Amino acid sequence: MGELGGFMKLHRVNGRKRPIPERLGDFKEYIFPAEEPVLREQGARCMDCGIPFCHNGCPLGNLIPDWNDLVYRDRWPEAIRALHATNNFPEFTGRICPAPCEASCVLDINDDAVTIKQIEQSIIDRAWEQGWVLPEPPATRSGKTVAVIGSGPAGLAAAQELNRFGHTVTLLERNTHAGGLLRFGVPDFKLEKWIVQRRVDQMVEEGVELRCGVNVGEDITGDELRDQFDAVVLAIGSTIPRDLPVPGRELEGVHFAMDYLEMRNRWVAGEYQDGTPITAAGKHVVIIGGGDTGADCLGNSHRESPKSVTQLELLPQPPDTRPEDLTPWPQWPLIMRTSGAHEEGGERDFSVMTTHFEGEDGKVKRLHGHRVGPPPSFEKIEGSEFSIDCDLALLAMGFLHPQPDGVVEQLGVALDGRGNVDAPEPDYMSSVPGVFAAGDARRGQSLIVWGINEGRQCARGVDRWLHGIGHEAEGADLVDLLAATNR
């Protein structure tokens, strides 16, 4: 339970960061957990709450108090077991999750939250280092087959769970490598790609058949999938980005953020020898969209020696401290967030509407906009028009829904009002029996923890369905249900 009253004596210590000049010179990760004695002390700050709000704040339901305590008590092998019990990929979440758990930590009410994320990362890093993470192939095979489409966090989690349940899983990925946004969206300085591959390798060793470069819908049709597999999981992500339909959008140099990020990641991976078609080097970069994708663009841009980087956001600048009336604890607070990328430089501007791009020679040169009032009307503030230099505009305004044509169309699954696959909880089964959905494709764009959680829960739905057990089991069926849900 941590140390009794530990939180009264000890203060929060964050992870170490490499100095800015140094880290801007490469694409390596720059945040590292604190040294072990410090970490264990940090674990001692956990209060072992009667109601651990962190455990609820975590979409995965990570057993945070349990492993905080285990770290405090120097019981690392058990800590990784407790961590893995709810989270297939803590090395990912420990690095790139925004940590809603910390926002809902009871200490966050009137003190600094426990450094949950840092502890999480150190548990899994040590586990890999010590060789405690081994393939866990199932003892027996059920004889059932499942195709999981998409190898982002949701697809990976679903595949790993289903495989461990004993089903024969084929993971289909249209890209060259598995990982989805983990590999091609998140920059290396936040998550180095060998870390992703290490986990993929584990799954393959466990018996998951990974087939990359297979574009489902083209290389294999929906009907073929149904024929070849007992169940299908759609984990195809929310890939259609929100566009900015303003004059000048067509100019060269105006790109979707994801195009830029994918190219940069491939460059880091050595796929482009001579630089990428989209680059920030020597440019005035304007990023439209104040979210995490925008921040990733920011960090990438700074590593290419741009002339300037500006990040624009339509919404007003949030307050520095938690607005209790709007987002009271333990909710995720709407506050001004300064990520590692923001520390590295660049301008941020809020309440800004982009009206058009101005170009020369078909290339974008300036961005024009004006200031707006607060949502929902975003009324224009008269006389606030402005323009700024812009050689590269990156649109990071979010994603709409999964790709509606292709496999989605072929399988004939119903979509919800937002264009996502309609596959309600708790079964995650779509309108087509045997076809399931998970992750951003189902719930819309979200955090990686949600993706992993979706994959896990969906796997349970698939498992029950394959065993012929309804969710509302009772009486004798409960025997089977409990057996099934216990895993």
Partner 1 sequence: MRKRPEAAGLYDPSFEHDNCGIGAVADLTGAKKHETVTRALQVLDHLEHRGASGAEIDTGDGAGLLCQVPDEFFREAVDFELPQLGEYAVGVLFLPRDDESRRRELEQLIERTIEAEGQALLGWRDVPVDHSVPGPSASEVEPTIRQVFVGKQLEGDQDAFERKVYVIRRVIEREAGEDLAIPSFSSKTIVYKGMLTSPQLPRYYEDLGDERFKTAVALVHSRFSTNTFPSWELAHPYRIICHNGEINTLRGNINWMRARESTLASDLFGDDLEKVIPAVRPGGSDSATFDNVLELLVLAGRSLPHSLMMMVPEAWENHDSMPDYLRDFYAFHSCLMEPWDGPASVAFCDGTLLGATLDRNGLRPGRWQVTKDDFVVMASETGVLEYAPDQIVRKGRLAPGKIFMVDLDKGRVVEDEEIKYEISHRQPYGDWFREGSVHLDDLEEVAPEEVPADPVVTRQLMFGYSQEDLRVTLRDMGGVTVAEPTGSMGNDFALAVLSDKAPPLYGYFKQLFAQVTNPPIDPIRERVVMSLESAVGPQSNLFDTSPQHAHQLIIGQPLLRNFEFEKLKQVDHHVFSADVLDATWPVEEGPEGLQAAMERLCRESSELIAKGDNIIIISDRAAGADRAPIPALLATAGVHHHLVREGTRLQAGLVVESGEPREVHHICTLIGYGASAVNPYLALETLRDMFDNGLLPGIESADQAEQNYVTSMGKGVLKTISKMGISTVRSYAGAQIFEAVGLGKELIDQYFTHTTSRIGGIGIDELAIEALARHRRAYPETAERLPVGGVHQWRRFGERHQWNPETIALVQHAVRHGGRETYDEFSKRVNDESRARMTLRGLLKIKEDAKPVPIEEVEPASEIVKRFSTGAMSLGSISSIAHETLAIAMNRLKGKSNTGEGGEDPRRYVLDPNGDSRRSAIKQVASGRFGVTAHYLVNSDQMQIKIAQGAKPGEGGQLPGHKVDDYIGKIRHSTPGVGLISPPPHHDIYSIEDLKQLIYDLRTANPEGSVSVKLVAEVGVGTVAAGVAKANSDHVVIAGHDGGTGASPVSSIQSAGVPWEIGLAETQQTLVLNKLRDRIIVQTDGQMKTGRDVVIAALLGAEEMGFATAPLITMGCIMMRACHLNTCPVGIATQDRDLIKKFKGEPEHVVNFFFFVAEEVRRYMAQLGFTKFEDMIGRTDMLEAQEAIDHWKARGVDLAHLLAQPDCPPEWPRRRVRPQDPVLDDHLDHEIIRQSQPALERGERVHIEIDCQNKHRAIGGILSGEIARRYGEEGLPEDTIEVTLHGSAGQSFGAWLASGVSLTLWGDANDYTGKGMSGGVMAVRPPEGAAFVAEENVIIGNTVLYGATSGKAFFRGLAGERFCVRNSGVHTVVEGVGDHGCEYMTGGRVIVLGPTGRNFAAGMSGGIAFVLDEEGVFPERCNMELVDLEEPTEADFEEIRALVMEHAARTASPVAERALAEWDKLSGSWVKVFPRDYKRVLREAAERAAMAQDGAMAAAVAGGIEEQAIPAQG
Pick the closer one to partner 1 by CB: 418 or 487: 487
The rounded distance, in Å, linking the Cα atoms of 299 and 309 is 10
* Contact between 21 and partner 1 per CB under 8 A: no
Stretch binding partner 1 (CB under 8 A), from 63-71, 167-175, 285-293, 358-366: 63-71
Beta-sheet pairing, 308-312 with 435-437: unpaired
* Contact between 4 and partner 1 per CB under 8 A: yes
* Contact between 468 and partner 1 per CB under 8 A: no
Question: Tokens standing for 296?
Answer: 């990733």
Helix axis angle, 448-467 to 153-165, nearest 10°: 30
Pick the closer one to partner 1 by CB: 50 or 376: 50
29: three-class secondary structure by DSSP: coil
Residue type present at position 319: P
Pick the closer one to partner 1 by CB: 245 or 475: 475
**String marking each residue 124-163 x if it binds partner 1 according to CB under 8 A:** ---------------xx-----------------------
Beta-sheet pairing, 435-437 with 231-234: parallel
Stretch binding partner 1 (CB under 8 A), from 116-124, 204-212, 260-268, 478-486: 478-486
Out of 104, 160, 445, 457, the residue judged to bind partner 1 by CB under 8 A: 104
Number of residues that bind partner 1 (CB under 8 A): 48
The rounded distance, in Å, linking the Cα atoms of 90 and 482 is 26
* DSSP track, 378-440: T-B-TT--EEEE-SEEEE---EEES--STHHHHHT--B-TTSSB---TTTTB-SSTTEEE-TH
* Contact between 328 and partner 1 per CB under 8 A: yes
* Contact between 111 and partner 1 per CB under 8 A: yes
Nearest to 32 by CA among 131, 115, 153: 115
* Contact between 478 and partner 1 per CB under 8 A: yes
Stretch binding partner 1 (CB under 8 A), from 19-27, 104-112, 232-240, 300-308: 104-112
Tokens 């961590």, located at residue: 83
In whole angstroms, how close is the CB of 328 to partner 1 at the nearest point? 5
Pick the closer one to partner 1 by CB: 48 or 192: 48
Pick the closer one to partner 1 by CB: 185 or 330: 330
Environment class of 197 (CB within 10 Å of its CB; exposed 0-12, middle 13-18, buried 19+): middle
